[in-house]
Amino acid sequence: MHIRFYFCRMFCVSLPLLLFFVTVFLATLFVSTTGCRNSDPTQSEQAPQTPRPAANPLSSSRPNQNVAPAGDSPSAEGTGASSQPHSPAATQENGEAISPAQTEPVQRVLDRMESAYRNARTYRDKGEICISWTQGGQKWERKTPYSTCLERPNRIQIQVNETVLNADGKEFCAYFPEMGSAILTRKCPDTISLRDILCERDLYLKLIDAESNRFSYLPPPLVLLFAKKPLDTFLYGVDEGTISMRNPQKYEDHDCFLISIMRNEDETILWIDKESYVLRKVELPTRILKKEKSAGGTPVESMSMTIELHDAEINCEKWESSVAVTLPADVREVETFAPVQMELLGKTFPSTPLANAEGTPVSIPQLRGKTLVLFFATAWDESAHASLARIETLYQKYKTNPKMLFLAILPTQKSAESVARAGVTLPFVIDSNGVLAQQCRVVGNVAFLVDERGVIQSSTDCDRNFEASVGKTLNGVDVATEMIRADAKSRQDYEESILKWIENDVFLDPADITQPQIPEAKVSPSSDPVVFKNAELWKNSELKAPGTILVVPGVEEGAPEKILVLENGNTIAELDEKGSIVARHPLPLDPNIYEISLLSAINPEDGKRYYATFGKRIHIFDENFELVSFYPPKKPEELSDSVSDVRLEDLDGDGRLEVYSCFLNNDGIHKTSLQGELLVQNKELGLVFQMASIRLQNENTLAIVNQTGGILLIDPTDLSQISQFSVLERTLGWITSSNFQSGALESLAGIALAVGGKNKALGIDHSGNEIWSLNLPDGIYTRPIDKIFPVSLRQSEERSGEWLILGPDSSLHLVEINGILIDQFNYGKIITGISSARLGGRGALLISTPDDVRAVEIQWKK
């Protein structure tokens, strides 16, 4: 049963950031910077413009870092009360008069800092991010390298943790350990820009990977040196009245202004050199990080987080880098960062000699003519169990296929015992001394798919995408070319999103950006259909504030459908085919919990029907509308409007209904039992807007849309991500599916929203290709209701169904499953619920408004 989602709440609010990409939302990050020295900046008298909205299309995740206990660490928090900027008679705490420089207006100090960096010929620091905290009585400290050095126009060196970028005027290089021995090497541009620095998605994700990005997504020195208006980032969303001057203090023997900035109830303090106007230190708020670290159960008693820009200096006489890095001995130059196996796609598999269990030589070229699955097994511990189980399942499925051959490639004869204990029965060969594994750059367990010509078609840890690739390869599809094209498209999408981000010139976390106001759609005046005419069958005006409509099939074949309407947010009204109220079922819901949707399903375990409502919380009811459970198990006052979609289905095939729910507060997807027990969750998916179920390779799969604007395929068993694809130049916020024809693939449809509230309905195939589109009225959806759903409205069975699409102005659009527009008209009233039914054998629309519920027969014109 397809459900609703509060489309206007998050998708429209965070739209532009979605439009520009991403891959992956959103998590808390980790960054750092430091130091400053004297210089002679040219002062600017021009005040900065009011910060404007912008969108960062990207997101990242923070890797785990080893942290060691440390001794006492002094708090980084500044002291002293705020001083008024225009107060020549002001005095310090010791009674001495404050100099005019100390009472310089806050805005002028910020302007001069901005001007100093804009006009800087050189800059360098020895930065680091310093975090210290006390937890469970134990003191901890972590320092992360975070330095920036620049000589205009094209010499720069940046280090964030272990990621290093270097340009010496001739060559541009970048390196981080996760890419193994690969070092990115390109010709150095004549003038370094942010586009050059952020040239690779993997490099970008490393540069922003720090908790300090809550203040600035990019390292603050980079923003100051390259942004057109750096203060647009530092002061974004900050009211003028919340910027104040603290009492001055010294940092590394430099007198500094201390400027306090309040954003979202969090205080950041900038330490700005009084002489050079160089940023020397940033005190960062710790409220969110402290809460995260306390989530494990042990509270954090105290915490400080600072960006220390040690020895920061502009316009120094002799510029030199403070960045040092040790490269691996077997370093190899690459033009772009890519997963190591990606580089091997479309190439011939190496012909390194192997040996079978009896010691007989085996050569891969000798096996040409068959499709090969070559599984490098180098790990057999618990972490490798999933890949071992998947390869064995795949082997059992295809082992009798004469066109295929499976081989496990093991490092030693003895390792065959470990593979056997793990339940893997593949025949194996020995890769003596791991020569072949080294040539294929294997780390962990990796499966290679090699076609009958000996060409590598795919390489993964044997996930469900790999199985799909096997089927395609057997049917003659060039999977390698498909994957290479998809990768090229992904890189193009990244490049476009970065250009948009740089153009917007506000470098913040998407969650911290208030998007431009999108106009609310107004209800369009009523209009008549063209292809068909709507004839009212009945109207019920007795219901109070009717909302969601759910049509439930009859218990017995041929029995009339049951019409359920959510009344007043906490009562289920049951109507008969003529619209009369048969029964009312009050729901024991807390009045503070706004319930917005209703769905039902039959439990295969006991054959009973269950219902679910959701809004701030999910409630499960039995067939008599008695409460069975609720989720999440929080107090009403702790809940927020975070449940965006729910599915009540048996997708994992265990013979029991499960409740799949997604959340708008970075909680991802949860899977619970009917009794409200949490079975599994995946919070790494961030903000999830909508879900749909489809079948891929005869297996149930969840298709979701989240803050990336693309479609993610999720395994319903463990909620792990199978794959991800985007619809070209579209940002999705809604997705649904329907099996219009028995035995055929489900049809996918969705709604994309562009900048300014431009809505577009889309038909999508299972590879993410757009197969049709329909322009919808502009504006945001203001009510929690289905936006697009399958209906069957024709009098005859000549068609299997249609898509009915609701516009934000309460217009209705009926299209064929192939996207051909049948008709469209304006209902003329606010629609609070809509569904379709067969009433007396006639196709009808059921529409609720704040005043009534109506059944409208669709009579097709001849």
pLDDT surpassing 80 at residue 16: no
Q: What pLDDT is attached to residue 615?
A: 82
pLDDT (mean) for 130-136 = 93
353-386 pLDDT per residue, tens:
888 877 788 888 888 899 999 988 876 665 567 7
pLDDT surpassing 50 at residue 335: yes
558-582 pLDDT per residue, tens:
677 889 999 988 899 999 999 999 9
Q: What pLDDT is attached to residue 355?
A: 82
More confident residue, 113 or 559: 113
Nearest to 646 by CA among 582, 707, 689: 689
Q: How far from the centroid of its chain's Cα atoms is residue 779's Cα?
A: 24
The answer to whether residues 447 and 375 touch, using CB atoms and an 8 Å cutoff, is yes
The CA distance from 199 to 182, in Å, is: 16
Residues in the chain: 862
Q: What pLDDT is attached to residue 500?
A: 82
The answer to whether residues 720 and 701 touch, using CB atoms and an 8 Å cutoff, is no
Which structure tokens are listed for 85?
């900027």
pLDDT band (50, 70, 90) for residue 21: very low
Q: What pLDDT is attached to residue 412?
A: 81
pLDDT (mean) for 338-355 = 82
* Percent of the chain topping pLDDT 90: 34
**Which helix (H) or strand (E) is 754 found in, with range?**
strand 747-754
Nearest to 644 by CA among 628, 625, 667: 667
For tokens 């039995």, name the residue.
622
Nearest to 65 by CA among 144, 167, 176: 144
pLDDT (mean) for 843-853 = 91
The CA distance from 123 to 225, in Å, is: 9
The answer to whether residues 194 and 226 touch, using CB atoms and an 8 Å cutoff, is yes
Which structure tokens are listed for 3?
């459900």
The CA distance from 567 to 599, in Å, is: 14
Give residues with Cβ within 8 angstroms of 336, minimum separation 6. Answer: 184, 200, 491
Sheet with 770-776: list strands edge to edge.
Answer: 732-738, 747-754, 758-764, 770-776
pLDDT (mean) for 311-338 = 75
More confident residue, 544 or 424: 544
3 state SS of 793: coil
Kindly state the DSSP code that residue 348 receives in the 8-state scheme: B
Which structure tokens are listed for 779?
């504006």
pLDDT surpassing 60 at residue 10: no
Partnered with residue 449 across adjacent β-strands are 373, 458
More confident residue, 611 or 766: 611
187-210 pLDDT per residue, tens:
999 999 999 999 888 888 888 877
The CA distance from 390 to 466, in Å, is: 10
pLDDT surpassing 90 at residue 162: no
In this prediction the pTM is 0.55
Q: What are phi and psi of 674, to 5 degrees?
A: -60, -25
pLDDT surpassing 70 at residue 17: no
451-462 pLDDT per residue, tens:
999 999 988 877
Burial label, 509 (beta-carbon count in 10 A; 0-12, 13-18, 19+) = buried
Which structure tokens are listed for 771?
């197969």
The answer to whether residues 711 and 727 touch, using CB atoms and an 8 Å cutoff, is yes
3 state SS of 456: strand
pLDDT band (50, 70, 90) for residue 99: very low
Q: What pLDDT is attached to residue 173?
A: 92
The answer to whether residues 336 and 184 touch, using CB atoms and an 8 Å cutoff, is yes
pLDDT band (50, 70, 90) for residue 557: low
Q: What pLDDT is attached to residue 33?
A: 31
The CA distance from 592 to 641, in Å, is: 11
488-499 pLDDT per residue, tens:
877 887 888 788
Q: What pLDDT is attached to residue 444?
A: 75
165-176 CB burial, b ≥16 within 10 A, e <16:
bbbeeeebbbbb
Between β-strands 332-334 and 182-187, what pairing exists: parallel, antiparallel or unpaired?
parallel
Q: What pLDDT is attached to residue 61?
A: 28
The answer to whether residues 220 and 308 touch, using CB atoms and an 8 Å cutoff, is no
Q: How far from the centroid of its chain's Cα atoms is residue 328's Cα?
A: 33
3 state SS of 694: strand
pLDDT surpassing 90 at residue 154: yes
Give residues with Cβ within 8 angstroms of 686, minimum separation 6. Answer: 24, 25, 26, 27, 59, 666, 668, 706, 707
3 state SS of 856: strand
